[in-house]
Structure 1
């Protein structure tokens, strides 16, 4: 028998071997286990038939690592616990924040960011409010803080001219928008765990579309916000900055904040609040449990020849503090506070021991105001922070105030050290 002129090539010896030891990257493909195949089937059909509670912790981890982050929230929100899945959802949004700011909860971070994004992109009379009505039941248990950095105004169409000769401009929609910005009454009272609420009425990156009204809250905005805050009984911190809030709006807001059961911090800095607004806030101090009040960069107190009359705003707050036993921090920096207000606040420092921090920087307290503070501080042992920079106070008065503050700080540190030592001793005994 003749041999074939072209004998077949020998088979690749690597294909005949089960282990290739000389190749560090070699890996034999194994048949997946039946349990993994079942779990992958659960992942693929999770939206149609979500199976979760019957899985073991190990199997839940398997599902969380593979489940699509585009899964509808009505399926996952109240079913999947805090873990890898919600971390992946946060990563999808881009830019993971400090987890400790969210109680070390990925789920809380996701839902807070998701709600903030929905509110910041809401366009009045364009976005359907029912989207929030549907979302709130899914996220209300996980949201403790909302930080709203912008609120979009309604879309205004250009005015159109009629074709007839000599016609005037006609606005098609004579009734106007149903709301000026997002109405927080839609959902704030339903967020039963909300404790912190920060909001700014402005539009970010508006570019050449800039209009002044993009950077201020309207009277209708203020009323709806005030009603929403009043309905949120768990709220502890309210910050409303850079929103052109003046006296009328401030008084309206305070009207709804009176006797709020849980509010502890109010920040209305960088607005246009004047004396009438300050008097309203003075009333709030007597009918609330505020511990922190920040009113820096406003118009409390007046310029020029009307300084004495306009300073009544600062005096009103000072008089209110005489009847307040809860306030720990007061920031009145960068206003128009003058020496009569400094005298009123000095009486507070003598008669009340609860105030721990006072900021009067960038005001015109003058020599008389400085002497009043100097005399008051000689009888005060509780104030551990007092900022009177750029206030036209004499250097001698400022030096004395600072020395008393340092002494009070040392006393406070010693007191904390004694309390900590006593606590450790009590723990060791039990």
Structure 2
């Protein structure tokens, strides 16, 4: 029996030269001690090593891995996350499917890497800097925006949007709705039209849709912490199917939106552009914003607002805390500009005013400039493309000499002329605060424009030095 063990050990040494028995068992004259050791080592090896030399313990999954795999596969029906150890929790989050229902993941998973995977799979181009550097906020805001933009009145069920808004209430801070679809018109067949004709020969009235666009009141209660709302009542990419009816902000839409604005008590930025908003509708909206507690930015650009609407905006300036007002590309003429100018004489919060692409003329331009002789809060004024001339430049010269708050003025695309340019240069020579002055396409002359640019460079350098000194002083105090 001893000889057999010896021979078996020798054979293993010959076949497996890398065996741990090398140097312990001799094939020629094994001692009894060596024979017993070889037999013991052989039994241990035979327990873990088979004839397949590629076999390894790494091929057998750990029980913890099997458990985590089971948790991942059954997460939708039995979500287990908080009870796991941190290292196991991170492994589960790395392997969870991004197709899990939002009711399961919304309030359970806060790990940013998981929401980054969800966001980049749906939208390859993502910039989280616009979403507070939060992937979870990006996902919920864009998900809700997509649902609203695809809603078709009387065809789409609003319940999924309401459910998504309720799940998103802790994460959504801004909604940028780039389109709101109108109802779909279904053409009736001739046979159906014949059936609609009554016995008296008159046609039954066509049924009107319940709403003209999505009603934000359905989700307003769930989004009490909304800070920004951007809306366009129109269709994107309509192509050859263009119709003016696709870009209508109806009276019914206006009434519903006014009620919604009263609900959004924390709204800071409201933008309603490219929606054919006229005087009557803007007055309804302004009425709901007169006593709004937090609104600081109002954008009604690219609409159909005329003088009556501008008067309503002037009233809002007197009763709100607006800091930014954008009325670019409307139909405001001299009376509307005068109403806004009158409000500016009493306003001390507005910092940025954009009236570009209107028709206020010199009468409106002079009124605005006279108001700036009293206003001390406005920093940026844009009145480009407003049919202004030398008469407005004369009053603006006094503003440049006396106003110490203005830092940027844009009067581009107006007929200022050479004489107007010389007057502006006279005012700029006494100005110490202006940092930007846009005079493109005003025909003020190269010489006047050159010297005004020299003054601007001096003001910019002075401002830079003051900013450095302020920063240094602040760091010393800290």
Please tell me the TM-score bracket, short chain as reference: 0.7 to 0.9
C-alpha separation in 2, matches of 1:171 and 1:74:
48
Matched, 1:158 2:187: yes
Change over 3 Å in CA distance of 1:167–1:189 after alignment to 2: closer
C-alpha separation in 2, matches of 1:53 and 1:166:
62
C-alpha separation in 2, matches of 1:315 and 1:112:
40
Matched, 1:258 2:309: no
Instruction: Determine the structure 2 residue equivalent to 1:182.
Output: 214
C-alpha separation in 1, matches of 2:328 and 2:76:
51
Change over 3 Å in CA distance of 1:250–1:171 after alignment to 2: farther
Matched, 1:381 2:427: no
Instruction: Determine the structure 1 residue equivalent to 2:164.
Output: 135
Contact 2:196–2:203 (CA under 8 A) maintained in structure 1: no
How big is the shift at 1:316?
A: 0.3
1:163-208, Cα deviation, whole Å (9 max, x unpaired):
7599699987733001101111111342132111111111112233
Contact 2:401–2:428 (CA under 8 A) maintained in structure 1: no
C-alpha separation in 2, matches of 1:158 and 1:378:
65
Matched, 1:271 2:292: no
Change over 3 Å in CA distance of 1:399–1:95 after alignment to 2: farther
C-alpha separation in 1, matches of 2:426 and 2:221:
49
Change over 3 Å in CA distance of 1:410–1:400 after alignment to 2: farther
How big is the shift at 1:78?
A: 0.4
SS state of the match for residue 124, structure 1? coil
TM-score by length of 1: 0.87
Instruction: Determine the structure 2 residue equivalent to 1:329.
Output: 352
Contact 1:159–1:172 (CA under 8 A) maintained in structure 2: no
Instruction: Determine the structure 2 residue equivalent to 1:421.
Output: 472
C-alpha separation in 2, matches of 1:170 and 1:69:
57
The one of 371, 391, 406 aligned to 1:368? 391
C-alpha separation in 2, matches of 1:355 and 1:234:
24
How big is the shift at 1:387?
A: 0.4
Instruction: Determine the structure 2 residue equivalent to 1:124.
Output: 153
Q: Any stretches of 5+ residues in structure 1 without a counterpart?
A: 1-9, 20-26, 302-310
C-alpha separation in 2, matches of 1:130 and 1:173:
29
How big is the shift at 1:383?
A: 0.5
TM-score by length of 2: 0.78
C-alpha separation in 2, matches of 1:159 and 1:144:
43
Contact 1:148–1:200 (CA under 8 A) maintained in structure 2: yes
Contact 1:90–1:96 (CA under 8 A) maintained in structure 2: no
The one of 51, 56, 65 aligned to 2:80? 51
For residues 191-210 of structure 1, the aligned pairs below 5 Å read: 191-210=223-242
Alpha carbon RMSD of aligned pairs, Å? 2.5
C-alpha separation in 2, matches of 1:166 and 1:104:
57
SS state of the match for residue 386, structure 2? coil
How big is the shift at 1:402?
A: 5.7
Change over 3 Å in CA distance of 1:85–1:165 after alignment to 2: closer
Instruction: Determine the structure 2 residue equivalent to 1:79.
Output: 108
Matched, 1:355 2:381: no
1:126-177, Cα deviation, whole Å (9 max, x unpaired):
1122222222221111111111111111111113434759969998773300
How big is the shift at 1:400?
A: 4.7
SS state of the match for residue 242, structure 1? coil
SS state of the match for residue 271, structure 2? strand
The one of 310, 314, 332 aligned to 2:337? 314
Contact 1:349–1:377 (CA under 8 A) maintained in structure 2: no
How big is the shift at 1:409?
A: 4.8
Change over 3 Å in CA distance of 1:262–1:409 after alignment to 2: farther
How big is the shift at 1:340?
A: 2.0
C-alpha separation in 2, matches of 1:71 and 1:254:
43
Change over 3 Å in CA distance of 1:171–1:386 after alignment to 2: farther
Matched, 1:145 2:174: yes
Q: Any stretches of 5+ residues in structure 2 without a counterpart?
A: 1-14, 16-50, 436-455
C-alpha separation in 2, matches of 1:177 and 1:166:
18
RCO (CA 8 Å, sep 6+): is it higher in 1 or 2?
A: 1
How big is the shift at 1:28?
A: 8.7
The structure with more radius of gyration: 2
Count of aligned positions: 398
